[in-house]
Structure 1
Amino acid sequence: MKFVLNIDKTFRELLLQEDTDQDKKITKDDQGPKKFVLIDEKTKQEQVIAGTYYLSNLLQELAVLKEGKTEMGEVDLARIQENPVDRISRKIRDNYWNELTRTIDKKGLAQILEDEKTSNEVPTLYVAATDKKGVAYFQDLEKELQNFKLAILPINYSMEYVATLNTKPGILALALEQKVYSLQGVPFVVPGGRFNEMYGWDSYFIGVGLLIDNQLEKSMAIVENFKYQITHYGKILNANRSYYLTRTQPPLYSSLIIEIVKQKVPNQEWLKSHLDAIILEYNTVWMVLGNRLTETGLNRYKAEGSGMPFEVEPGHFDGILAPYAKKYNMPVRAFEKEYLERKLVDADLDLYFVHDRSLRESGHDTTDRLINRCANLNSVDVNSFLYKYEKDIAYLIATYFGNTFQIGDVRYTSNEWEQKAEFRKEKMNELCWNEAAGMYFDYDFVHQEQFPFEAATTFFPLWAGLCTENQAKKLVELALPHFIKTGGITGSTKASSANVSKDEPQRQWDYPFGWAPHQMLLWEGLLKYNYLDKAQEMVYRWLWLITINAVEYNGTIPEKFDLEISSHKVFAEYGNVGTEFDYIAKEGFGWMNASYQYGLQILSAELKIKLGELIAPDNLF
């Protein structure tokens, strides 16, 4: 049934009555009567809308109609009554992915350049000199639009050169493709609404969500941009901004390729170009001894560059900088500026920031597991990812290239990559596996000992498939219970976080916070080792949390949760993206969206029904 309403009038009256805290949302925290009467302007028929969930749905539907700028409009009561699981999934599929999609071209450049991270008076777009097509396209566009400055990165630029860009930061160009009438930017999907850059490991999880929602071309576009970054920037970047040229991200390129070829039989030339890029990245980014490869034979995160990371806000590192400011007899803010611009250099502080930059490269920014030690660790996460690379490359060569793959004069066999994976598995069992704890720990190769911080990354080997059946059993039966809260698994255990000084800030990747990638990798690992009932339980816990949060808080889909209180109300560094919006959540958050769609693929029909009944007692239509 549809009701004809005066949109502005109904919208104002609804907010006045129900949005008592005036945050432009209707949530469980509001103290209104939680009952609103709709009157059809034509028939004068009345309909009572009662309860937080239904009232917030009404607000959202009215917000969409208001964008049409018409006085009268129809509200579909079926949309207000919609099952919450169906509503969340539909909005992700039909709305959120599109809202998070960007292109770097004539059509999309204004949004990309004019955002809160752009500090130059005239926004700057950087394009690599090696991308001749891109250079020509953006030179013409600069003349036409005159609203940005084009800068060309020289061939074989140094990290010292990259440091000079900190005073003139900008966005980095991504791939272009020839359409019928013009070149257009290859699309990418950003993590959340305030972002306008493509993030490395976020993009893998987003790509999985896109494939589930039948957006194959957009998922394929992500890997095209991965390949472009390796070709022109030497690595898959932390994100495509100038100050991220020193950092890569967790290696998940091959995993997305595997997911794509499951859905579509690949074109041989397309697949070869990506396998070329994956092997190039493996060899040049990850397997250079002394950089990200260590003498143990295992890998670490190790960002290039020096000094303080450019992207943090003033004051973020005050606790670290204060002793050094005192050492140089300077106010902290003045010291920070001098140090950031590299006008003042301190070797001890530089070493701290080697670890900090590497921590940010890991994607876990930040966690006490990695602070002031990241570059000293053969971490479980990166070696699990690289084991999966080696297995994926072996699989692709065996399945699609007849067991041999040629790059220039180098001939690779699938067996060679299987051997690389087996070597890594043996070294991880030797250095990272702890039989007594039933967990994998990062190995500190400097001090030649395990660092016994209990982190959710201990489950990554389960996802990668490198565990024995005994190790999988211990991870599930001994380790997992230490991480489980009502709404999923925490980034670390409470015991590990309890050892951290109370003076330290609460790190967002540690206890009690829960993140979508940790859940998704755990689920896949549980399924891989046939822990089917446990997988159902863990999926339900996480989807329950997303659903109840959306039901009670106006459709909010946040970046992360506090699992101790089962809430998006997170009080930790960097806040919580996706929680600030007016009237209607338009994009959710990339990997949170993906986790919902992926979880629904796994969840049994019975549990889906149970999930759909999650409407708080006051929510009666």
Structure 2
Amino acid sequence: MKLFVNKTKLIDQLLKQEDTTGSFTITVDDNGKKSFKIQTDKGNDIIIKGTYHLSNLLQEAALLKSETGIIEIKHVKEEPVSRLSRIIKDFYWDKLTRNFDKGNLLKILEDEKMKGEFLRLYVPETDKYALEFHKKNATEFKNVKIETIPENISKELITALNKKPGILSLAYSREKGLSIPFVVPGGRFNEMYGWDSYFIGLGLIIDDKFELAQAMIDNLEYQIIHYGKILNANRSYYLSRSQPPFFTSFLKTFYETYKNRITINWLTQKINTSLIEYFNVWMTEGIRLTPNGLNRYFGEGTGAPSETEQGHFDAIYKIFAKKHRLSLTEFKKQYKTGKVIDQDLDMYFIHDRSMRESGHDTTTRLDNCSADLNTVDLNSLLFKYENDIAYFIKTYFNDAFSYNGKIYSSKDWFEKANNRKALMIHFMWNDKNKCFYDYNYKNKRQQPFNSATNLYPLWCQLCSTQQAKDLVKGQLATFTYKGGIASTGLIKNLSKNMPNRQWDYPYGWAPHQMLIWEGLNNYGFINESQELIYRWLWLIVKTAVEYNGLIPEKFNVNTCTHKVNVEYGNVGTNFKYIPDGGFGWTNASYKMGIKHLNSKYIKHLNELVDPDIVFKKSL
């Protein structure tokens, strides 16, 4: 059956009757009739009942491209699991896709993060064709300035750019005469984020979005070549900060899936670029490589990060204001202008920038210590990076790859990985607690903090079989809650003056879920992986069913809600009629979870059966 409807009229009628909270959505928080009569194409009336089906009707109306159109009843009454899969594939990825073509330029440049009279787009001066393209597109916009970024990006330049921030351009196709598209994390974002892109890419590959996934890799490569690193995001104030190194992981998954559609020359170029990132970003001594041979995150730059919300650091500033016998307002002013110099506060911000480079912005685990830590997560990622390079060289290049005047074999890279593994076990493995901990190379001791990142060695297959068993037995329950994996264990004795950190307990994020599912599968813990997949998917589906299709950035996995009182809020929760693309890596985690979940659990998901009932007891 079908409905022939007037889009505006139907939306207005639905909201007037059902949206009692004034949210422009239909959710369990509304107290409407939960029943709506509408006529089908056959002339008979049909009654749509319940929050879920009414919100589907509202969404389908919003998706109509013209004022009058057809709504399929099967889509209104579609089961949640298949509906979410379809909506993500057919609509949400498109909603999150951006490009720098003329018709989209202002959409990208106009946001609350831009300051000053002009909207600035920075283009590498070495990319002559892109520069010409962007200058031509900007001619009709009087408030848009196209400026150049030199090949050698100095600390002084980055500092100067803080006074006139802007968006950094991404890859341009001279062949097509178009900028290459990219996918942003959520609807309110206009920039491409580093590690988000890897997880988003996995979702795109599952949905067979070949060209868009390839475009993401091209844009990551562009950043390495023109900006020196894969950036936290493509804004000028992120030029000093990278992100967790997932480039080879993305490349490997993509190439293994689509190698029949990709030339070996394409792969050669990408491997070469990955080596640039490896040596220039991660293996530079004194920056991200520490004297013990392991790595740290290190956000270069000075002062407070530009992207933080107003008042974010006030609890810290108050401590130093008291030290200098100044009011909070006066201290902030004098510190910012350089009238007050405090090396301890400078160091705090170096740690803070390093924490943000880790992607975990922010967490108690890395607060005021990040730059001193060889973290389990970073070194696990680099262990996999080294193994990935070895795999590519052995599998596709006859065990010989030329880079920077040297011929590398797979043995060279397996040796690098094995050396890192030995160092990680020596410095990070805690034999008493049977787990990995971050290692503070400055004070030469482990930091015994329970974080989901302690399980990364399962994902990169660094553990021995016994270590994997010990990790699962001793650590997994620490992070497992009704709705999935929490970022950390319960943290006691937190200062009430500090912000409620979004990468601490009880908040759960898609990347941790995905990495831990795969890590458990790597070592044969299939039952544990299935349970965790179900718990996370149940929370996503439950939220979408009860809240008008909502797919947020993160969840409280203990109370199982998207409603969180935490720094930076929760992206993806504010929209009218239909979610503005969901959230990139949450979308991807859903697609991955459904791909790997045993079919016997799908019926339970559609019926929203409590995971504690499905699995008899919690982990």
TM-score by shorter chain over 0.5: yes
Instruction: Point out the more displaced range, 273-282 or 154-163.
Output: 154-163
| Aligned with 2:427 (options 424, 431, 445) | 431
Distance across 1 between alignment mates of 2:353 and 2:339: 19
Distance across 2 between alignment mates of 1:150 and 1:574: 30
Q: Verify: 1:553 aligned to 2:547, yes or no.
A: yes
Aligned to 2:529: 535
Kindly report which structure 2 residues correspond to 1:282-361, keeping only aligned pairs within 5 A, or say none: 282-328=278-324, 330-340=326-336, 342=338, 344-361=340-357
Aligned to 1:114: 110
Distance across 2 between alignment mates of 1:414 and 1:472: 26
Q: Shift in Å at residue 464 of structure 1?
A: 0.5
CA distances 1:165-192 after superposition (whole Å, capped 9, x unpaired): 1111000011101245xx2111111000
**8 A Cα contact 1:441 1:458, kept in partner:** yes
Unmatched tracts of structure 1, length 5 or more: 617-621
Aligned to 1:148: 144
Structure 2 counterpart SS, 1:126: strand
Aligned to 2:53: 54
Change (3 A) 1:582 1:375: same
Q: Verify: 1:17 aligned to 2:17, yes or no.
A: yes
Aligned to 2:479: 483
Structure 1 counterpart SS, 2:365: coil
Kindly report which structure 2 residues correspond to 1:196-595, keeping only aligned pairs within 5 A, or say none: 196-265=190-259, 266-328=262-324, 330-340=326-336, 342=338, 344-494=340-490, 497-595=491-589
Matched AA of 2:591 = Q
Q: Shift in Å at residue 323 of structure 1?
A: 3.1
Structure 2 counterpart SS, 1:386: helix
Aligned to 2:155: 159
CA distances 1:4-55 after superposition (whole Å, capped 9, x unpaired): 3344333223212211111111111112221222234x75521111111111
| Aligned with 1:90 (options 77, 86, 91) | 86
Distance across 2 between alignment mates of 1:170 and 1:350: 25
CA distances 1:548-605 after superposition (whole Å, capped 9, x unpaired): 1100111000000001110101111110000000111130000000000011110111
Distance across 1 between alignment mates of 2:44 and 2:592: 41
Change (3 A) 1:100 1:340: farther
Aligned residue pairs, count: 608
**8 A Cα contact 1:454 1:493, kept in partner:** yes
Structure 1 counterpart SS, 2:366: coil
Distance across 2 between alignment mates of 1:543 and 1:371: 31
Give the share of equivalent positions with the same residue, in percent: 50
Q: Shift in Å at residue 438 of structure 1?
A: 2.5
**8 A Cα contact 2:20 2:31, kept in partner:** yes
Distance across 2 between alignment mates of 1:207 and 1:398: 25
Aligned to 2:603: 609
Aligned to 1:619: none
Instruction: Point out the more displaced range, 24-33 or 480-489.
Output: 24-33
Matched AA of 1:577 = V
Distance across 2 between alignment mates of 1:344 and 1:162: 21
**8 A Cα contact 2:121 2:144, kept in partner:** yes
CA distances 1:129-169 after superposition (whole Å, capped 9, x unpaired): 22222223223333354441011122323112211111110
Q: Shift in Å at residue 87 of structure 1?
A: 0.6
Matched AA of 1:204 = Y
Matched AA of 1:47 = I
Q: Shift in Å at residue 528 of structure 1?
A: 1.0
Distance across 1 between alignment mates of 2:553 and 2:205: 20
Distance across 2 between alignment mates of 1:471 and 1:208: 28
Distance across 1 between alignment mates of 2:179 and 2:97: 11
Structure 1 counterpart SS, 2:364: coil
Distance across 2 between alignment mates of 1:63 and 1:109: 25
CA RMSD of aligned residues (A): 1.7
Distance across 2 between alignment mates of 1:469 and 1:369: 27
**8 A Cα contact 2:102 2:138, kept in partner:** no
Distance across 1 between alignment mates of 2:462 and 2:153: 38
Distance across 1 between alignment mates of 2:97 and 2:331: 39
Change (3 A) 1:449 1:550: same
Distance across 2 between alignment mates of 1:129 and 1:340: 31
Change (3 A) 1:77 1:475: same
Kindly report which structure 2 residues correspond to 1:72-83, keeping only aligned pairs within 5 A, or say none: 73-83=69-79
Aligned to 2:613: none
Distance across 2 between alignment mates of 1:408 and 1:289: 18
Q: Shift in Å at residue 225 of structure 1?
A: 1.1
Matched AA of 1:489 = I
Unmatched tracts of structure 2, length 5 or more: 611-619
Instruction: Point out the more displaced range, 236-245 or 266-275.
Output: 266-275
Matched AA of 1:27 = T
**8 A Cα contact 1:198 1:239, kept in partner:** yes
Matched AA of 1:229 = Q
